[in-house]
Amino acid sequence: MPSRARLRPFVAFAAGLVFAAGLGISGMTRPEKVRAFLDLGGDWDPSLLLVMGAAVPVHAVAWWILRRRGGSLLGGAAPGMPAPVFDLRLFGGAALFGVGWGLAGACPGPAVVSIAAGGGAFIFVPAMLAGVALSRFVAKRPVMDVLPQESEDDEGVGATR
């Protein structure tokens, strides 16, 4: 029987296939369906809300099981909870993502699935990758809990903590 570590790529591939099939079946790879979901003032299509709403409890149960076990079924460590950082970068990035999603009718996962299925995201995906590269080039990595330590020379005026 193969070791758990050797099964990881196959499990990851199978999970990706199931995810891609779900995106395709739900219509999230069709920009017109995404735009209809975002058009609250027009001919609104709430079906994607049902897709996303069904994903939340499935993820919550999977997360609970992962945390309770202390790791994945194949031996990977359970990731820690991210720090709750609500700053301008978060809100700016979310707004930019939302505007792009509304204009293009696509977000990263469904766009990649669309290309693999012969869809028309051939402009969106390269532009998305260029945006990711540009953001990594321009933006600094977030600094969390890194403050200069007070030294013996810093006593008195101007000491930082």
Summarize pLDDT for 1-39 with one digit per residue, the tens: 678 778 888 988 999 999 899 888 888 888 888 888 888
Q: What average pLDDT does the segment 136-146 reach?
A: 61
pLDDT at 151: 46
Q: What average pLDDT does the segment 139-149 reach?
A: 53
pLDDT at 103: 83
Residue 118 has pLDDT above 80, yes or no: no
User: Is residue 155 in a domain?
Assistant: no
Residues in Cβ contact with 119 at an 8 Å cutoff, skipping those fewer than 6 apart: 29, 113
Residue 148 has pLDDT above 80, yes or no: no
Report helix, strand or coil for 14.
helix
Q: What average pLDDT does the segment 72-87 reach?
A: 80
Report helix, strand or coil for 104.
helix
Taking CA atoms, 150 is separated from 146, 153, 155, 161, in Å, by: 12, 8, 8, 6
CA gap 11, 78 in Å, rounded:
16
User: Is residue 109 in a domain?
Assistant: yes
If one counts the domains in the chain, the total is 1
CA gap 101, 42 in Å, rounded:
17
CA gap 39, 46 in Å, rounded:
10
The answer, as to whether pTM is greater than 0.75, is: no
Domain that holds residue 97: 4-138
Q: How many CB atoms lie within 10 A of CB 138?
A: 7
Taking only the tens place, the pLDDT of each residue in 49-63 is: 888 899 899 989 988
